[in-house]
Homo-oligomer: A and B are copies of this chain.
Amino acid sequence: MRLTFLGTGAAGGVPLWGCGCVVCASARIDVSYARRPNCAVVEAGEVRLLLDAGVMDVAERFPPGELLAILITHFHTDHVQGLFHWRWGVGELDVFAPHDAEGCADLYKYPGPLRFRHLSKFETFNVSDVHITPVPLVHSKPTLGYCIEHDGIRVAYLTDSSELPPATATFLTEWKPHTICLGCAYPPGMEGRRNHFDLPEAIALSNDYPSSRIVLMHISHHLDEWLRAHPDALPERMVLGHDNETLDFSGVP
């Protein structure tokens, strides 16, 4: 199994329009500093799944037949905006998502080829030989994390949450993921933040899963800037994800 980040940025990505911070300025010059909104692709055997659709050209990247399904964590625009023009296409594609009567804009009204399938928490389902368990998160919209298992490899994808519900924490303790991709938008002491983990919270969470590697994603320019000044702040087992980076789990015991 492999997971490739297409976007590791918080809502607006990096660089932000009009922002003069050192991170946004760097990202305008060197695309390796850029972070697009949330999006990743999982490849497991013959299966390819999209996780969120925050990157705007995902429909172009994946012609029909390239994906078996899309998993949406929640219906904020920075996670679904790549679906807006996709739904005017032709064909059929399963889109698994949390129950959210509102959805986003008129996606439900005009779904086109996108077949929205609403999931119940902790009810494992299969896409071919990939086993997926949706777990509830705590956010300003109904939000699911996805625990993905293939051929004994277990990866949890947990974006956009301010805490782990006890049942989700317990599930993860028993499930023992090899890697947790964890949304972490903010540095320590950020005022006005809400709905997302900051770095101290992410570190505290990582201590509850001592056998898991933690890869941070959904990263704002604030966190990138803070980490430039604190390059040794991440504990062992925790790394920053980057756009276009592939996590390869082949050979993982």
Q: Interface of A with B (CB < 8 Å)?
A: 10-13, 16-20, 37, 56-57, 59-60, 63-64, 76-78, 81, 84-91, 104-106, 112-113
Contact = CB atoms under 8 A, between A and B. Distances in A.
| Secondary structure call for the A interface | loop
A56 B59 contact: no
Nearest to A82: B56
A154 B88 CA distance: 34
A140 to B, nearest CB: 10
A17 B64 contact: yes
A85 B13 contact: yes
Contacts of A64: 17-18
A11 B85 CA distance: 7
A20 B63 CA distance: 11
Contact of A85 (B78, B88, B112): B78
Nearest to A75: B105
A164 B41 CA distance: 46
